[in-house]
Amino acid sequence: MKVLRSICFTHNLFLHRNLSRTPVSLSSFSRHFHSSNPRFALNSLETDGTQTTPHVWTAHEGLTGGLSTSCSRQESITQGNELGSGDEADADSETERTYGKAKNANLSDVDETQKAKGNTELMSRKKASVNGSGLGDMFGNKKKGKGKTKWVCQNCGHSEVQWWGVCRSCDRSGTMESVLEVETKNRGLEYSETLARSWLPKDAGDVEPVRLIDVNRGVELTDYRIPLLGPFGSEVARVLGGGLVPGSLVLIGGDPGVGKSTLLLQMAALIAEGHNCDQPACVVYVSGEESVIQISSRAERMKIGANELYLYAGTDIEDILVKIQPLSPRVLIVDSIQTVYLKEVTGSAGGLSQVRECTSALLRFAKKTNIPVLLAGHVTKAGDIAGPRVLEHIVDAVLYLEGEKCSSHRLLRSVKNRFGSVDELGIFEMSQLGLQTVLNPSEMFLSDQNSDSEFLAGVAVAVIMDGSRAFLIEIQALCVSSSTVSRHVNGIQESRADMIISVLAKQAGLKIQENAVFLNVVSGVSLTETAGDLAIAASICSSFLEFPIPSGVAFIGEIGLGGELRMVSRMDKRVSTVAKLGYKKCIVPESAVNSLAALDLGEMEMIGCNDLKGVINTVFTKN
């Protein structure tokens, strides 16, 4: 404090000596010397023995963080805000008034109006200081918003504030990646609402509760779904639950090159041709991965020439919805969701926030305009659709297009469907003209059996269900007396195979413990249900006894630990499928013969057995 007092005292003496010579330096020095205790700055500047010129100082207030201006007399407040003469009213005088510095002026020439004006300006400066205009605002050091770094799981979208080796939501390792989130206003939802509202009439916002019985009044049944006709359309409509629902959002996922774009282009052409209505319907196919010329060349190869099919290459959701509004399409197709973006949403196309907000925007567009939207989605290495897991919760239906690289067959499955069953399955074959419907799906899994050759020993036919469809698959077995490997299975649960082999050894009396057993399901199909137990046992017996199973025989049934045969679900559907494919005999549990006696099976004979010994005596006995 002593040092501070000496500085203020020296400062006052210096101002006293140079006041009459350099009036401008008064304001200059008073800006840089401040006192935290005003009582040491109350000394008058006496030039002729009387206090004629008041002293003005600026002090820093610790509570408010601002600067306050004070003077030795109340009358000098006006002096600190008024000019000495009219010739000095320039920009420098305004700066001096801001800091509250006084100049030489005669107090007697100041009237009441000028005093009131000065008091008003001083009070406004003090109020601004209290409201936070402190030293930080004076020098421009304002606090700005900073970005936040988060660690986001690329598999499920779970976020953490710090890095973890394993995602605590999905328990996957190596999926946490850092994402910088800048604190900006996200207007994606607001903007998508504005775009969707522009399609509706002006009074569309007046929504009121409606009774259930009044919702569908006056609506025909044909308006509930957009039908897809023809063999291809019927196969797709089967998976969708009967057709495309207006206002729905459908996501189609699959591996790269499996045929997602081909499937969507064929659906677009089928709707645009207008076979299901009086006139063709407009369909817009938007691609963010291919140009219009590339899409046109593929359509030409597939012999597609629909006049009402429009192609557009773009990735901006705003631009897409604006451009297609004059067309009023019946269906909108976006290929793919990972390539589009919203300008008002942070992040690049394909990011977590962009994929989520773009899907939400298209969902609101579909619901408010009643236009169905079809989306194509990429999948990750694990086989899941790329992007946050919430993406599959937003859409109405999720379809997967599956297929092996070495095979031309494609399977269209429904894993989520709000308007139909998820048990349906569509089967296609990729050709030069696109995806073609497979009329007999069992041909995919069956080989040609032209004769009862000894080389066909160990082959049995099982009937499995996938959704509501029955398929016939081949199960192969090989029993070798000397091998370095005791057992190997492919396409069958290893525990299930061990149980069946043990039951054959114990209940049927086959000594196969010393043999190596190899089991395989043809075409890479995974057998997960128990309906194939009887076919597995029959193939093992055929290979062990070296007795080929006659062609035209199928097996349906579950095996218990006692060697007994048990019923499985949907026996009628399985047996009817075997009869339609022209098989002569079907080995089933004895209890199924009586329950299925009313079925019209044509020339096929249904043989019932109680246990494995009865099956061996029936199949492997020469007549």
Q: Domain boundaries in the chain? A: 2-138, 148-181, 224-439, 444-619
CATH of domain 444-619: 3.30.230.10
Look up residue 110 and give its DSSP letter: -
Is the distance from CB of 356 to CB of 309 less than 8 angstroms? no
Q: 402-441, pLDDT tens digit by residue?
A: 887 778 889 999 999 999 888 888 999 999 899 999 888 8
Percent of the residues in the chain that have a pLDDT greater than 70, as a whole number:
67
* Per-residue pLDDT at 484: 72
For residue 510, the Cα-to-chain-centroid distance in whole angstroms is: 55
Q: 25-80, pLDDT tens digit by residue?
A: 333 334 444 444 444 444 444 444 444 445 555 555 544 455 555 555 444 444 44
Kindly report each contact of residues 9-12 with a partner whose C-beta sits within 8 Å and lies 24 or more positions away, as own/partner. 9/40, 12/41, 12/43, 12/45, 12/55
Q: 226 to each of 230, 306, 311, 326, 365, how far by Cα in Å? A: 13, 17, 21, 21, 18
CATH of domain 224-439: 3.40.50.300
Residues 61-70, buried b or exposed e (16+ Cβ, 10 A)? eeeeebbbbb
Antiparallel, parallel or unpaired: β 309-313 and 45-46: unpaired
* Per-residue pLDDT at 73: 46
Q: Nearest-CA neighbor of 172 among 385, 353, 386, 382?
A: 382
Antiparallel, parallel or unpaired: β 51-53 and 45-46: antiparallel
* Per-residue pLDDT at 497: 94
In three-state secondary structure terms, 283 is strand
Look up residue 240 and give its DSSP letter: H
Does the pTM surpass 0.85? The reply is no
* Per-residue pLDDT at 36: 44
Q: Nearest-CA neighbor of 332 among 367, 297, 378, 290?
A: 367
DSSP of 47-79, one letter per residue? SSSSEEE--EEEEE-TTT-SEEEEESSTTHHHH
* Per-residue pLDDT at 74: 43
Q: 471-504, pLDDT tens digit by residue?
A: 899 999 999 887 777 788 999 999 999 999 999 9
* Per-residue pLDDT at 394: 92
Q: Which residues of the chain have pLDDT under 70?
A: 1-147, 181-207, 218-223, 275-279, 381-383, 385-388, 447-455, 622-623
Nearest 5°: the CA angle 403, 153, 186 is 105
DSSP of 390-455, one letter per residue? HHHHHSSEEEEEE--TT--EEEEEEEEETTS-S--EEEEEEETTEEEE-S-GGGGT-----S--GG
For residue 514, the Cα-to-chain-centroid distance in whole angstroms is: 54
* Per-residue pLDDT at 523: 79
* Per-residue pLDDT at 103: 41
In three-state secondary structure terms, 594 is helix
Measured between alpha carbons, how far is 523 from 281 in angstroms, rounded to an integer? Answer: 40
Within 507-623, where are the H helices?
533-545, 571-580, 590-595, 612-619
Same fold, 224-439 and 444-619: no
